[in-house]
Amino acid sequence: MGIFETNNLDNGIIQYIEEINNLGYKTVMSCSGMKKDHVDATKCPFICFEWPRLPGQDLFLFLSFIGDCLYNSNWDVVYFPHYVIGYLPCGLNDTDIKVRFKKFVINLKIMNFLKQSYLNIL
């Protein structure tokens, strides 16, 4: 399950967060931003990854890998000290949000499959 228990995750994205964590990319925070999960508030969807403890070049490759997977899935990517966060615009409907989460998981799986050659290129 990763860092969070299922009841701490927004229902609309549980399956995506579980898939991401099961691939070995541990999330530390996320928000679906979906109306069904946040009836009384407008929230922007996001997903946050903590930087793993890796040596210099390996850390750079990890950050590039996660950032590229997010960017190629139409997420905005922001790098903070110790965190990489992907954001979606506020106001997307629930279906569009699910599509973006699903696209990120698909891209992560594809890039994960190609990771060895991807990392050798950089």
**What's the confidence (pLDDT) of residue 116?**
55
Average pLDDT, the chain: 86
How many domains are there within the chain? 1
Q: Is 1 part of a structural domain of the chain?
A: no
Give the model confidence (pLDDT) of 62-97 as tens digits. 899 999 999 999 999 999 999 999 999 998 999 999
pTM: 0.83
- Rounded Cα distance between 13 and 117, Å, is 30
Report the CATH number at residue 36: 3.90.1150
Residue 104 domain flag: yes
99: domain range? 6-121
Residue type, 93: N
Which run of H or of E encompasses 80? strand 76-80
The reported pLDDT for the residue numbered 9 is: 84
